[in-house]
Chains A and B, each alone.
Chain A
Amino acid sequence: MSLLRTENLSKSFGELKVLNSVSISVEQGEVVCIIGPSGAGKSTFLRSLNQIEQITSGKIFIDDELFLHRENNTTVSSAQPAEYKRLLLEMGMVFQSFNLFPHKTALENIMLAPMHVKRLGRGEARSLARDLLGQVGLSDKADEYPARLSGGQQQRVAIARALAMQPKIMLFDEPTSALDPELVGEVLGVMRGLADSGMTMLVVTHEMSFAREAAVRIIFMCDGDIAEESEPDQMFTNPRNPRTRQFLNSIL
């Protein structure tokens, strides 16, 4: 059963075609990494999934249910509003630039959505937030404001914040690209732990070692298209597409 599936997902910004009929499928418990050169449309793809960007055409299925179907920039059909919201919340998102709420402490950042979207009581939200902070190794930073946390710590709080909505799949958009090299490890460590606990993950990343170890499949995206999709060993030792080879040579 696929947790997340797209069919011919396309996205244009005006005249600029950024995604060109992208079809993927992610099964329950899979970690899938997306790699590719800058401007390939990787971010746009993730943002199109959780509706930060509105897709031009294509279908999105979540939990094998039709979530959204659009053609020519108009919605053909979508899940009923309550169901739509539920399915939307099955995707958690972690951004390259963290996007923590600067006026809230680490704990309050995590509590906000459970309290106001899921209507959890303050006490319940707090204990949930404390558990999650423990899970990302930041129990001692509960009352710090984001400005007083390192980038790596901020990103770990952001992961905990996304997890607080109990998503079934986590979308990561280059979660370590904004970090100093020495801080990358702690974030990848949390992500590995998450993968080991069985979380379904779709990860855009430039960290090839992470992709190689953690991913079951790697998607190479180029010019808004999936140029190649294969298992890590295959991808790194014997890429089929010459453009994959060229890209990997340029970064490894």
Chain B
Amino acid sequence: MADVKRDPRRRRAAVAVLAALVVACAALAFTKPPMAQVERSISAELIEGAGNSYNLTGHNYLIFNIARGRNIKSAATDTYIGIAGSVLPMNSGAAKPIANVLFWIPPLLGGTRITVALTMVSVFAGVIASVFLALGKISKFPPLSAACRAYIFFFRGTPLLMQLFFIYYALPDIIPSLTINNKFLAAFIAFALNSAAYCAEIIRAAIQSIDKGQSEASRALGLSGAQTMRLVIIPQSVRRLIPPVANEFIMVLKDASLVSIIALTDLTQMTRSISSSAGNALVYVPAMVIYLVITAFFSFVFNKLETRFSVYQ
């Protein structure tokens, strides 16, 4: 990371590669063949063979399937790709799995959106809440510190799956006014509450790792305890927080697959349902690649943040 930052040549190269990718994607999207051309390109016999029940799907995504057959159950699927203004059949050989993968990507990205959105909002809310939890836990006011301790103990000591289940299914049974109809909201609440407990421990450890001389100097200068925290201790803790928070983020990203229990379709759940309905386990490959890409992307972002917060080192 630091290398790219220091070496302007490598940095320019990285920017150029990114820009080329963006341009290439845009070019592909804008050269999508018009529908009429698609119909023309697909051989007449193919359409005839499909009888009257042929069905074009997925045209919006460059890739489209044609299902042939008298009824959906017996339909065979042929796949074409519309690219750079022409329509290419992808029905045979190595083209077939590639076409499949391309065809699955849009629904997989739909699941990815849920996974990433849930992770981001949950960890963000969790980190904010955890600052107060951590400060509460190390406070010298026994009831507050005991309450925070108990909270952390509870959420770290029970399975996240059970917490999620409890919030969505069990809690409304016990207290009807706490019914949450929005599945995403329910998942968010469970994940944020859970993440807060884990992050609180991270933050407490980071705060307590700051040299005692810092608070002594603050005190000698007349800063109050709260000012010392806000102006001296917390800003220095931030850099130490980033690696463990990044770790927590990636854990949550993967734990997000637990939301299938409340019938929310994240990336894992989408993969499973495609795999079973298409009868093709190949879909796991692009799904795992998506996970790796997201993980790599966020690792990059967190690394960048860490560098940024290390300016004074």
Contacts and interface: CB of A to CB of B under 8 A. Distances in A.
Interface of A: 47, 50-52, 85, 88-89, 91-93, 95, 97, 99-104, 112-113, 116-117, 145-147, 158, 161-162, 165
Given A101-B232, A103-B312, A113 B222 contact: yes
10 contacts: A89-B222, A99-B214, A99-B216, A99-B217, A100-B217, A103-B236, A117-B221, A145-B311, A145-B312, A146-B312
Given A145-B311, A147-B312, A103 B221 contact: no
Interface residues of B, number: 18
A85 B221 CA distance: 11
Interface in B280-295: none
A97 B211 CA distance: 11
Contact of A113 (B211, B223, B235): B223
A198 B286 CA distance: 76
B235 A162 contact: no
Contact of B213 (A88, A89, A97, A146): A97
B221 A52 contact: no
Given A101-B232, A103-B236, A113 B221 contact: yes
Contacts of B217: 93, 95, 99-101, 158
B130 to A, nearest CB: 21
A51 B262 CA distance: 56
Given A102-B312, A103-B236, A145-B312, A92 B220 contact: yes
Contacts of A99: 211, 213-214, 216-217
Given A102-B236, A116-B231, A50 B220 contact: yes
A116 B311 CA distance: 24
Contact of B223 (A92, A117, A146): A117
B215 to A, nearest CB: 9
A147 B313 contact: yes
Contacts of A52: 216, 219-220
A51 to B, nearest CB: 7
A88 B222 contact: yes
Nearest to A158: B217
Given A99-B213, A101-B214, A103-B236, A93 B220 contact: yes
A51 B219 contact: yes
A154 to B, nearest CB: 12
Contact of A95 (B216, B223, B231): B216
A40 to B, nearest CB: 20
Given A95-B216, A97-B213, A101-B217, A85 B312 contact: no
A62 to B, nearest CB: 14
Contacts, number: 61
Nearest to A52: B216
B227 interface: yes
Given A112-B231, A113-B222, 9 more contacts: A51-B219, A95-B217, A99-B211, A99-B214, A99-B217, A113-B223, A116-B227, A117-B227, A165-B222
Nearest to A117: B222
Contacts of A47: 216
Contacts of A50: 219-220
Contacts of A89: 222
Q: Which 3 A-B residue pairs are closest in the complex by CB-CB distance?
A: A99-B217, A113-B221, A99-B213
Contacts of B311: 145
A145 B235 CA distance: 14
Contacts of B211: 99
Nearest to A148: B312
Nearest to B217: A99
Interface string B271-286: 0000000000000000
A113 B227 CA distance: 10
Given A102-B312, A103-B235, A161 B213 contact: no
Contacts of B312: 102-104, 145-147
B212 to A, nearest CB: 9
A95 B213 contact: yes
Contacts of A146: 312
A161 B222 contact: no
B97 to A, nearest CB: 53
A178 to B, nearest CB: 11
A59 B312 CA distance: 42
B96 to A, nearest CB: 57
B235 to A, nearest CB: 5
Nearest to B214: A99
Interface in B172-215: 211, 213-214
Interface string B226-262: 0100011001100000000000000000000000000
Nearest to A50: B220
B310 to A, nearest CB: 10
Contacts of A102: 236, 312-313
A177 to B, nearest CB: 14
A1 B117 CA distance: 68
